[in-house]
Amino acid sequence: MTDTLYPPSSRELAEKRRHLAPETEKAFQAFSRQVFADGALPAKTKQLIAVAVAHVTQCPYCIKGHTKAALRQGATRQELMEAIWVAAEMRAGGAYAHSALALTAMDEVESQTKA
């Protein structure tokens, strides 16, 4: 990542996290391993979901890490891009769906000005 807002991931940063909260770090790592293990959903599908969610949450570390993990689990570039497009549609869909709030507010103001 070349953006100076986000320092590159490093072993040093991981060690700092582990040093400052070792039990929490250990629990988080165990949780992460469990979440991404094969289950009702295969690990590849879980990683594709993670890539999509990472794009919606706009986490550059997650995008990079889960993209690589998805590829290691056998995902194709095409599958990754489709997951990213699903994320884009969901993000745009949220704006579209929430337009109901603006439309309702417009109607409320209009009805108040007529009264």
Residue 1 has pLDDT above 60, yes or no: no
This prediction has a pTM of: 0.83
| pLDDT given at position 28 | 97
Burial of 57: CB neighbours in 10 Å, binned 0-12, 13-18, 19+ = exposed
CATH number for domain 40-114, candidates 1.20.1290.10, 3.30.530.20, 3.40.50.261, 1.10.3720.10: 1.20.1290.10
What is the Cα–Cα distance from 113 to 38, expressed in whole angstroms?
58
Residue 49 has pLDDT above 60, yes or no: yes
Q: pLDDT digit string (tens) for 70-82?
A: 999 999 999 999 9
Query: Cβ–Cβ contacts within 10 Å for residue 8, how many?
Result: 10
pLDDT band at residue 100 using 50, 70 and 90 as cut-offs: very high
What is the Cα–Cα distance from 94 to 2, expressed in whole angstroms?
30
Domain ranges for the chain: 40-114
pLDDT band at residue 106 using 50, 70 and 90 as cut-offs: very high
C-alpha distances (whole Å) from 22 to each of 12, 13, 53, 57 are 14, 13, 27, 26
Mean pLDDT for the stretch of residues 62-88: 98
Q: pLDDT digit string (tens) for 2-47?
A: 567 899 999 999 999 999 999 999 999 999 999 999 999 999 999 9
Structure tokens at 101: 């709030």
Mean pLDDT for the stretch of residues 83-100: 95
| pLDDT given at position 2 | 58
